[in-house]
Structure 1
Amino acid sequence: MGITVHELTYYPVKGCAGTSVETSRVVGTGLEHDRVFMVVDAVDGSFRSQRAMPAMAAVRPAVRDGGRELRLDADGAGELVLEVDPAGKRIPVSLFGTPVGDAVDQGEAAADWFSEVLGAPSRLVRVRDGFDRAGWGETPGRAAFADAHALLVVSLASLDGLNARIEEAGGTGVPMNRFRPNIVLDGCGAPHDEDLMRRISAGDVELAHSVRAMRCAVPMVDQATGLRAGPEPVRTLAAYRREPVYDNKVSFGLKAAVLREGVLSVGDAVEAEWYANGAPDPGRPAS
């Protein structure tokens, strides 16, 4: 048995819960509907993240009617159903301190709902038509409101290898959702095989290696409760997955760019072109 697609997940609102699907269209910025919405500070337009607000993990968005409607739900906050505004008022927004242009504000009801849930004045925005943001790395690709790349690819073998180390040290393994991948692969022969994939073909889609994924504090957040539950898995990753050229951050997973759009489904066979001597480091993004 070869490598197959085990799971597909998109995250409609950056930092909030994902939606797992059996089939997805893959567009230039990743899985359809992935991170097309973002919560921002109501004053300066900077993005909100689980890094500072882990409660975002417990917000459950659902895209409806082909993206024309968005349902938001969180324990204790009730449900809000929004008619998506693709062309309304625009406000400037930023990611990691870098302006990324204007995004479409989704109105007062969404702003009030997120402000209450997160305990800080917030607004919900959507990517505007024509939004085109470059990634970086060996194959930069394009991204919507993802950190910098279209897709995050992780293998079950990598998670199994990590959890074996955690459990050997007396800890409890973590679920895959701690890493918030878009594509989970089954059938890889060894942990971190995805690091060595130069090209990936599956379904109608072709992907390319951008960078290895550097991890922050988000994997220490319980994605069901929105509470920090560290120090694992970052503590164990730090023992064997540090990347000296990235200020000793830890890596887990592959960030990939979309070379060919199409349809991707769970169960699709995966064909990979492999690096002969390990994946090269693509260097830092241009500042």
Structure 2
Amino acid sequence: MAILSEITLYPIKSCGGIALRSATLTRAGLMSERIYDREWMVVDAGGHCLTQREHPKMALIAPRIKLDTLELRAPGMLRLEIPLGLPDPDTAPTLTVQVWDHTLQAYDCDELTAAWFSNYLGVPCRLVRFHPNALRLSNMKWTGGVEAPTLFSDGYPVLVIGAESLRDLNGRLEKAGRSPLPMNRFRPNLVFEGIGAYEEDYVAAFRAGGAVLKPVKPCPRCPMPSIDQATGEFGPDPLDILQAYRAKPEVEGGICFGMNNILLEGDGETVRLGQEVEAELAF
């Protein structure tokens, strides 16, 4: 039996996360206090998403959920508070934005917010919020035909990693004379203790109370795991170690760590730290 050991919500794509004791599972990803995972995204003047890949200091934008606002702090910046209440869909300004292969409409946050992000990142940019009338589906080639919505994630609503997988990687790094890495380098939503290293690759379903999560696609890694989430700076990249044993032919040789999941049952189910989770193997 696995144990849920970490829950992390990322309100803004590629910015800091919020460690939670409990969260609501929805078909579109984690939700807490009316905030969904990757509900907001930073875009450039052309509406294309900005990420830590090009702007590693985004890691230092720290969110905190307050009563009516999402508070943001970043080094050298005054704090910013973003209203949690949804804008009026009939009158609020929108932008056409692009997140990888998907183009959709999003709410355009105000000029003060745009100036805050532009000043911090040093490039003209804006913050946008997922529009409730927009629909973005995970790739149904991988979901087995299931329509799985997601917001501004890279492509799937929930990323799961087993704690033992990181321990295995850190053992290999230490043997190579390298420092171990914290789990936040890989930015999972859920971390499970009690399953073997990389066993998440072979799970048919995770059952947590009335919720059923289905792993559907290995997560190919970009250079983001080389970014220290505490400093916003690039460091040694673990991909050179991972490539020796984690290249997956089913994703064209991508170097994978973690599994992307969709929710099959239990929309609205609460999950909690320490909760027992049944990992049903696929064989």
TM-score, with structure 2 as normaliser: 0.91
Shift of 1:204: 3.1
Deviation at 1:243, TM superposition (A): 1.9
Distance 2:169 2:182 in 1: 11
Q: 2:178 aligns with which of 171, 175, 178?
A: 171
Determine if the alignment matches structure 1 residue 122 to structure 2 residue 125. yes
User: Is the contact made by 2:143 and 2:262 (CA closer than 8 Å) also made in structure 1?
Assistant: no
Match for residue 275 of structure 1 among 257, 266, 282 = 282
Give 1:6-85 correspondences, 5 Å limit: 6-32=5-31, 33-41=36-44, 43-65=45-67, 68-84=68-84, 85=86
Which residue in the other structure is 1:142 paired with? 149
Percent of residue pairs bearing the same amino acid type: 35
SS of the aligned residue for 1:133 comes to: coil
Where 1:4 maps in the other structure, the secondary structure is strand
3-state SS of 1:239 partner: coil
Partner of 1:254 in structure 2?
A: 259
For 1:47 and 1:214, the matched residues in 2 are separated by 19
Between the aligned partners of 1:130 and 1:27, the Cα distance in structure 2 is 17
Deviation at 1:267, TM superposition (A): 0.9
Instruction: Give the letter aligned to residue 17 of structure 2.
Output: G
| Equivalent-residue separation in structure 1 for 2:222 and 2:27 (angstroms) | 25
**Letter paired with 2:97:** V
Measure the CA separation in 2 of the matches of 1:61 and 1:122. Answer: 18
Structure 2 portions without partners, runs of 5+: none
Tell me which amino acid in the other structure corresponds to 2:275.
D
Residue 104 of structure 1 aligns with which residue? 107
CA distance in 1 between partners of 2:256 and 2:223 (Å): 12
Q: Provide the rounded CA distance (Å) in 2 between the counterparts of 1:191 and 1:200.
A: 16
Once residues 204 and 223 of structure 1 are traced to their aligned partners in structure 2, the CA distance between those partners, rounded to angstroms, is: 33
**Which SS does the other structure have where 2:120 is aligned?**
helix
Paired residues of 2:212 and 2:264 also in contact (CA < 8 A):
yes
Residues 145-186 of structure 1: CA distance to partner in whole angstroms, max 9, x if unpaired?
001001000011000000000101111110000000000000
What is residue 281 of structure 1 aligned with on the other side? none
Q: 1:206 aligns with which of 196, 208, 212?
A: 212
Distance in 2 (CA, whole Å) between partners of 1:111 and 1:26 is 30
C-alpha spacing 1:204/1:263, structure 2 compared with 1 (3 Å):
farther
For residues 39 and 219 of structure 2, the distance between their equivalents in structure 1, rounded to whole angstroms, comes to 20
Pairwise CA distance, 1:70: 1.5
Cα 1:272/1:99, change in 2 over 3 Å: closer
Q: Which amino acid aligns with 2:108?
A: D
What is the aligned residue count? Answer: 269
Let me know the Cα RMSD of the aligned residues.
1.3
Name the CA distance, whole Å, in 1 between partners of 2:97 and 2:122. Answer: 20
1:86 to 2:87 alignment: yes
**Which amino acid letter does the alignment assign opposite residue 249 of structure 2?**
P
Q: TM-score, normalised by structure 1?
A: 0.90
Equivalent position amino acid for 1:45 in 2 = G
Q: Is the 8 A contact 1:5 1:185 kept in 2?
A: yes
Aligned to 2:158: 151
What is the distance in 2 between the residues matched to 1:158 and 1:99?
31
Deviation of 1:78 (Å): 2.0
Provide the rounded CA distance (Å) in 1 between the counterparts of 2:175 and 2:102: 44
Please, which of 224, 227, 235 is the counterpart of residue 240 of structure 2?
Answer: 235
Unaligned runs of 5+ in 1: 277-287
Mean Cα deviation higher: 249-258 or 200-209 = 200-209
The answer to whether the Cα contact below 8 Å between 2:102 and 2:136 also exists between their aligned partners in 1 is: no
Please say if 1:183 is aligned against 2:190.
yes
Tell me what 2:3 maps to. 4
